Structure formats: C-alpha cells, structure tokens
Structure 1
Amino acid sequence: MASPRPFSRYEFMIAWRYLRARRAEGGVSVMTWISLIGITLGVMALIATLAVRAGFRAEYVDTILGANAHSTVYYGPTTFYNELTEENYINPGRIEDYDALAAKIAQIPGVTRATPVIRGQVMASQGDAANVAEVYGVTLDVLSSMERIADPETSAGNLADFDRGVAIGIGLARELGLMVGGKIQLTAPQGAKTPFGTTPRRESYDVAYIFSAGRYDIDRTRIYMPMAEAQSFFNREGVADEIEVFVTDPERVDDWTLPLLQAAGERGQVWTWRDASGDFLRALDIEDNVMFLILGILVLIASMNITSGLIMLVKNKGRDIGILRTMGLTEGAVLRVFFLCGAFTGVIGTIAGVVLGVILSLNVEHIMAFLNWASNGGAWNASVRGIYELPAKLRGIDIAKAVGLSLILSFVVTIFPARRAARMNPVEALRYE
C-alpha cells in the first residue's frame, strides 16, 4: 500500500486543529500569540521603512534632476605668465565659442539638450534683509524646460515675464520678504572695472517669478537671470561659464562622460549630478542595508518565539503524538504536522504585517502631517532633511524582500521543535496514560 504523499490534506487538518484548539486543550500558547504579533509588527515596520527610504531617495533624486543639469561641461582654468609684471596669472575657464560647442554636444546620441549657462555668486538684499545667492544666467526656453522650476502648482508669477526680471526661489523670497513684482538688489564682488581697480556691482531687478524646486537649499539660494543680462552683470560678455547637458537616461549619465569630453576638447571637464550627490546617495544605500539588517533581526527575534510556542505545544500534545504514531503516522508526517503549526504562525503574521505595512506606507504623509502639527513643525525639518515632506514609495521588490525574510526565518526556527516531536517515542508518550 502506497504511503500518503508529503503535506497531505490530513496533515494540514491536524496542524490547523492544533492551532485552533483552546489552551486548556493543549492548543495555542501565549508564546505563539506573542510570536504572531511580533512577526506582524516586524514585517510591518520593515515594509514601511523600506518604502519611506525608497520614497526619500526618489524624491531627493527627482529634486536634483528637476532643477539641475544631468551633466555639466566646463573648461578648466589655465595659468599664463605676464612678462610685464613677471607674475603668473590664472585665467578662469571661459567658453568663448559656447554656441558652437553646445550645438556639437547636442548632436551626441542620447543628449536631449545642451545649453550655455552663466554662474556667479551674489549678495541678494531687500531693505535690511540679505542672503547669499547663486545666480544662473539662462534663457527662457531653458527655464521653461525644467519641470520643478516651471511647475505652475508650486510657483507664483508668469514665467513669460522672465526676460523682464529674475526668478527667485521661494525660500529666498520668504527670507527677503519679496513677492512677485517686488525689487531685489544683487551685489556682485567683481563688477565694473575702473582706473582704481574693480568695484562691486549693484543692480536692482524686478521679481518676475517665484519657484519651488522641492529642495530647501535650492529654494533658499538660487536666482535665475536672463542670459544676456547675466553676461553683462558678471562681465562675461561673449563667453559662458559652462554648458549644461541633459540626457535621455539620467541614471546612466556616466555613459555620456567620454563622448562629452571628446566633444569639449583638451581643456574640457565634465561634472555629473552623480559626482555632486554621489556620496550622499551612497550613504543612503548604506543606511538602507543597515536598517534592513536591524529590522531583520527584530523579525528573527519574533520568529524565535515560534520555537518556544511549538515546544510547549509538543509537550502538551505528547499523548496525541503517541496515538498518531501507533495509528501508523510516520516520523516524517509528525514532523510536517508541527512544522505546519509553526509555518501557519509565520504565514499569518507575515500576511498581517504586509497588510498593515502597506496601509502605513500609503498614509505616511498624513501621519507626518499630524506629527508636525502635534510637535509644532519639529517632526520634519526641511533645513536638515533637504526636502519638504517625507514621501513613501512602495516597491514590489521591497515587499518581496520583507515577505521572503519573514517566511524563511519562520520556517527555519520551526524545524527544531518539529523534529523533537517526530522523534518522540510513542511508548514513552503513552506509558502513563
């Protein structure tokens, strides 16, 4: 007579009956309930943490790519010797044929746009308020193509009026007390050249547009100025400081570094968004791995309680094990029955944890809004975190990692007490019955 196949229906039935039995009947113990709740909370915390970490990284990268070039081409400084003064001078890298270079770069496959830019540091002021700012001299077409800057839902003013003024970040506008139509004074250290030397240049501009890039540091320090006006203001007539390059796949921006260097020539240098933020992103990846390890240990601790609960269940069910063995149940069948008891606990706890983790992840923004309200804005400080809100991004791979870790740990810790039950001698189990 052929023996029943492993994990037959009756094995599931016996295991489920043991789990449903009252404690007085030798059923589920308090330790099993503790392990069930622990696994649920551990999986929930793991999924929510991974979702928040993924959302934070995605939002941070999006703010970078939505308000900055994917890659920047510039010329390195050169040193020349002045025979009259017998001194060495450093000639800053200026791009004279910037239109031709931009057109050449734009022809590289995968490059969507290449635009010359003027950059300079200024002191921005209005009345008694002042702040250091960075000016970007660009054209209206370039500014309109920046998704974060040109977003009408997070901006004020008409972007079409950019040629008649400047665009400033919302943080800078708040610090200086400015609104659209107001006047902002910009002071550059390198201004007009006179017989007595270079004097600072100070000009007033209309605030034509106020934007929010989603990043605290950008909104607090950035100003966009029309290209021609920036050339005049910073004494850059006929030259540009750099060429900003946008590509089809910003995540693979390093693939374009060599073609950009070849197009720029011997003096050309390339600086990508990964070069600027790579250390921070690598730190985020390390933190993700550490958080996964820590929360994985918490799930392991909760899973270990399954062992305690099953040991108590095996002890209480010693008589039943002896009867089942005398009825013909094999050691393997007994092992699978108690393995299923522990597996049920892990599976149920994992499913509950996934449900609660998804619900928590989908409501992170509301929870953080409540915590900010309760703590008067202390729960999330944009000046420290960089971005204004804590988003969550649920990814299938993160849920799969949490589920896989929980189930594997739950199944592994179940094997020891299940083997103990299988090796129980039926004669010893029924000796005193």
Structure 2
Amino acid sequence: MSGRAPEGATRATAPFSAHEWLIAWRFLRARRAEGGVSAIVWYALAGIALAVGTLIVVMAVMVGFREEFTSRVLGAEGHVSVYPVTRWENGRAERALRDAGALAARIARIEGVTHVAPVVEAQLLASHGQRNAGVIARGMRLEDLRALPWIARPEAAAGALDDVTGKSVAIGEGVARELGVRVGDELALILPNGLATPFGLAPKQGIFRVAYIFRIGRADVDRTRLYMPLETAQDFFNRGDAADLIEAQVARPHELGSRKAPGALDGAIQAAVGAEGVVWTWKDANGAFLSALDMERATMFMILSMVVLIAALNIVSGLVMLVRNKRRDIGVLRTIGLSQGAVMRVFFLCGAGVGVAGTAIGVALGVLFVIYIDPIFDLVNGALGGGVWDPQVRVLSRFPAELRLWDVSRAAGLALTLSFLVTLGPARRAARLDPVEALRDE
C-alpha cells in the first residue's frame, strides 16, 4: 500500500506559516478603496497607544510620589521613635525620659540600629521684627543632625550646619521666609508657660542667631521646623538632663513594622525599652498617607485598564469591517485550499498586529514622557502662568516620577492580552464564512 497522499489532497501546514503572515500583511496594507483596513482600526491603534502611554505615566508618577515622600520622611527624621510613658509625680503628669543616655545605649546595641539620638521638643513662638511664626523646636546634638541626610544635605541651604552651636539655630526655608530672616540675623524664641513666677507661669524668651537655613522639599518640615543644640534646648525648655524622646535610625527601615503588625527589629527595640517607653515607627506616623497612596495607585490602574479595554474593543469594529470587505478574498482563499484555521489565524494576526503596534508605540510614548517629565512640566507650568504645582499644598517641592520595569511590563501585558482576546471573535467569524456563499454574493 502506498504511503503517498492522494493527488489533489490539501497538505497541512504549520500554524502561523509564512504565507499566513504574508496574507495578513497584505490585508492590513491594502488601501481602503481595495477593501483594506478601515479608519476604525487606525483609531484603535491610536487609542491603545494613548491608553498604554497614559497608564505607564500614571503608574510612574504614583510610584515616584511614594518613593519621594518616603525618602524625605526617612531622611529628615528618625526611623523609630521611643516616647516615654506618662508617670504621675506629686499629682503632676510627667512625660520625660530621665535616663535617656542609658536607654539610648541599650537601643544602640541592637543589631540593625545604626544611630541613636536623644531629642527634646517643644512648640515655640518665633519672632523677628513685626513678624511671628509658630515653630516646632527640636534640641539635638550636632552629630545627630549630621546623621539626618536631608538636613545635612538638603535641596538648598544657606550657612553651615556646623555653626549650630550655643545660641545658634537652624530653621526651615519656610520659617525664614515667613519671618524675613537670613543667616546671621537674630530672632526671639518664646516658650509659653516656661518661666515660674510668684504669680504663676509666664512666657520665657531667648534671643538666638540663625546659623543655617535648609530646604528639604517637605512643606510640613520647611515651614515649621527649628533645630538647636541639645544642651541649649534642655536649658531653655527646663528639661534638665531629660529627653522628650529617643530617635533611632536603622539599616533597613522598610522592614520595620507598625503597632498593628510589629516587625522583628522594632519588637527588639520595644523589648529593650521595656515599660519605660513606647515604640513608634515611621510607618505608624505616615501609615495613613502611604496606605492612601497605595489604594489610589491600585484604583488608577483599574480605571485606566478599562480605558485600555475600550481602546482594544475598537479592534473588533475594525476587523468586522475588514472581514466584510474581504468576503470575496476569503472565498477565493478557501476555494484554493486555505483551511478554516488558517483563515482564523490570518485575521487574528491582523488584529494582534494592531494591538502589538499600538502597545509598542504606547510604551515608547509613556517611557519618553516620564524621562522628560520635568521639561514637559515646566513647559506646561509656564504656559499656564505658573502656580500649577504648589508645594505648600502638595507637600513635595517637585513633580516626582519613577519608571519601574514591572509597571511597564504590566501595562504592555494588559494591552497585548486584551488585544489578543478581542481579536478572537471576528477571526472566528471570518473562518466560519462559507466560501460558496461569499463568492455567490460577489
């Protein structure tokens, strides 16, 4: 018995063979007068490109916001704060760490803790000439201030941090602007209820010289923060040798937990502190804001995913029109031996090609927009007369954006998946077209 196929039998070909790609390319390339791709498909390509580009830009901005905010939080304050528990002495509530030096030494011995600083803190009224401003004054040692990256190396600075000694202070740029002071000027600091008199407590006042002005780009710090030497603050705030809190910096701040879900390191710090204080991490202090950013990022991805889906659905309309225009060609191809599967693959390649091209263009546009977001934003800000970005309202002083391969891959993968899925319906419809009916209609 001969193993040869009968003469005239259709020989099966591998899926997505060269001739299927060639036919799909000719269909896409054909002019509209020849029954080629309708304008709807080009709209679909443009829609997918814009949707993917927008999704990449939004995700990059959301990530940039979170990372920039986290960086400035971790660089301007301690990662872990230890606050004293309230004690009652002689009928008065006492909140101070009396043996702060020994407690700080115990915390410093914990593996993973890189720096420990005792801090005294109070709310003061700063005055210069006819101007006044409320400030949060912190007393810290000079070496502890140098350990804060955004204080030692801020966005902009005037004066020298090493000059913050004795009766000299460091202030945020917002405080300096509100008071109208420069480096070398003197300002008066007033501590309410800081001086005991026979008639009760009275305000306590001191004159200090401005030695250092910094801008870290966080409006809540730049507009309110004032630093002075620890010994000077303890004397001015009537703290003696006590501290109001202890701040610790750790090697891996992102591994810290919160009060609801403590991590290993902050748990070890709490064990070292014992009943003397309460541990409060940077996640506790900023958890609500960070959670809101994460929720907003997830929500924006879902919303923009629907935009990508709507753009991909335009491929369906375009392919339906293409199938209608190519009925005669489909009939001829089926008559000369092209199988149903091959016809389906041809039109799948047409729709998928539009999706791939739109996704590639969208990825390029999104990445380029993020890379050049600063000059683009400056151009928009200038065109609108400035004031589009107010740091006092938006906390940060610049418009952040950070590209991540995962986000770009998610956006591209989403667009490609939706494009491939919506293409299956029209492609299957084209494959099921009866060639006899197609040629009879012609």
Q: Same fold per TM (> 0.5)?
A: yes
Cα pair 1:105 1:111 within 8 Å, conserved: yes
Structure-1 residue corresponding to 2:55: 46
Contact 2:76 2:151 in 1 (8 A): yes
Residue in 1 that maps onto 2:8: none
Are the equivalent residues in 1 in contact too, given 2:86–2:93 (CA < 8 A)?
yes
- 2:93 matched residue in structure 1: 90
The code of the aligned residue for 1:91 comes to: E
Checking the alignment, whether the CA contact within 8 Å between 1:156 and 1:210 is kept in structure 2 is yes
Query: Could you state the TM-score of these two structures normalised by the residue count of structure 1?
Result: 0.96
SS state at 1:190 partner = strand
Q: Post-superposition, which runs of at least 4 consecutive aligned residues in structure 1 deviate over 4 A?
A: none
Q: Are 2:175 and 1:172 aligned? A: yes
Aligned twin of 1:67: 76
Match of 1:313 in 2: 322
Per-residue Cα deviation, 1:42-66 (whole angstroms, up to 9, x for no partner)? 0111111111111111111111011
The answer to whether the 8 Å contact 1:368/1:379 transfers is no
Q: Aligned pair 1:188/2:197, yes or no?
A: no
Contact 2:56 2:367 in 1 (8 A): yes
**1:136: which partner in 2?**
138
Post-superposition CA distance 1:103-160 (Å, at most 9, x none):
1101111110111011110011111111111011001111112111111651110111
From 267, 274, 290, give the equivalent of 2:283.
274
The answer to whether residue 33 in structure 2 is matched with residue 31 in structure 1 is: no
Equivalent-residue separation in structure 2 for 1:375 and 1:137 (angstroms): 43
Aligned-residue offset at 1:376: 3.4
Match of residue 3, structure 1, among 8, 12, 16:
12
1:226-375 alignment to 2 at 5 Å? 226-254=229-257, 255=263, 256-375=265-384
Quick one: distance in 1 between partners of 2:220 and 2:151? 14
Quickly say closer, same or farther: Cα 1:152–1:222, change in 2 above 3 A: closer
- For residue 184 of structure 1, report the CA deviation from its aligned partner: 1.5
- CA deviation string 1:20-62 (max 9, x = no partner): 1100111110100100110011011111111111111111111
1:201 paired with 2:204, answer: yes
Query: Match of 1:115?
Result: 117
Contact 2:158 2:212 in 1 (8 A): yes
Measure the CA separation in 2 of the matches of 1:225 and 1:212: 16
Q: Deviation digits for residues 347-405 of structure 1, max 9, x if unmatched?
A: 00000001111111112222222232233333111111100111110100110011011
Amino acid at match of 1:273: W
Give the corresponding residue for 1:148: 150
CA distance in 2, matches of 1:242, 1:426: 84
Secondary structure of 1:191's partner? Answer: strand
1:54–1:392 Cα contact (<8 Å) kept: yes
SS in structure 2 opposite 1:266?
A: helix
Contact 1:74–1:268 at 8 Å: present in 2 too? Answer: yes
What is the Cα deviation at residue 253 of structure 1? 1.6
Distance in 2 between residues matched to 1:269 and 1:136, nearest whole Å: 19
Aligned equivalents of 1:318, 1:345: Cα separation in 2? 20
Distance in 2 between residues matched to 1:89 and 1:192, nearest whole Å: 17
CA contact (8 A) 1:216 1:382 kept: yes
In 1, the alpha carbon distance for the partners of 2:241 and 2:207 equals 23
Amino acid at match of 1:391: P
Moved more, 190-199 or 264-273: 190-199
In the other structure, the counterpart of 2:390 is: 381
Q: What runs of 5+ residues in structure 1 fail to find an aligned partner?
A: 83-87
| Residue identity in the other structure for 2:220 | D
Letter of the structure 1 residue corresponding to residue 269 of structure 2: L
- For residues 139 and 226 of structure 2, the distance between their equivalents in structure 1, rounded to whole angstroms, comes to 9
CA distance in 2, matches of 1:50, 1:17: 37
The aligned residue for residue 85 of structure 1 is none
| Amino acid of the structure 2 residue aligned with 1:197 | G
Task: Give the Cα separation in 1 of the matches to 2:86 and 2:30.
Answer: 80
Which moved further from structure 2: 267-276 or 364-373? 364-373
Moved more, 153-162 or 396-405: 153-162
Instruction: State the distance in 1 between where 2:86 and 2:155 align.
Output: 41
User: CA contact under 8 A between 2:79 and 2:249: conserved in structure 1?
Assistant: yes
What is the CA-CA distance between 1:293 and the residue it aligns to? 1.3
The one of 215, 218, 222 equivalent to 1:219 is: 222
Are the equivalent residues in 1 in contact too, given 2:49–2:361 (CA < 8 A)? yes
Superposed CA deviations along residues 75-106 of structure 1, whole A, max 9, x for unmatched, are: 111235x4xxxxx43222x1111111111101
Q: Of residues 45, 54, 66 in structure 2, which corresponds to 1:57? A: 66
For residue 196 of structure 1, report the CA deviation from its aligned partner: 2.5
Give the Cα separation in 1 of the matches to 2:172 and 2:207: 17
TM-score by length of 2: 0.94
- Which residue in 1 is equivalent to 2:260? none
C-alpha distance after superposition, 1:143-187 (max 9, x if no partner): 112111111651110111111410000111011111100112111
Amino acid in structure 2 at the alignment position of 1:411:
F
- Judge which range, 376-385 or 418-427, deviates more: 376-385
Percent pairwise identity: 50
Given that 1:190 and 1:234 are in contact with CA atoms closer than 8 Å, whether structure 2 keeps it comes out as no
Conserved 8 A contact 2:124-2:192: yes
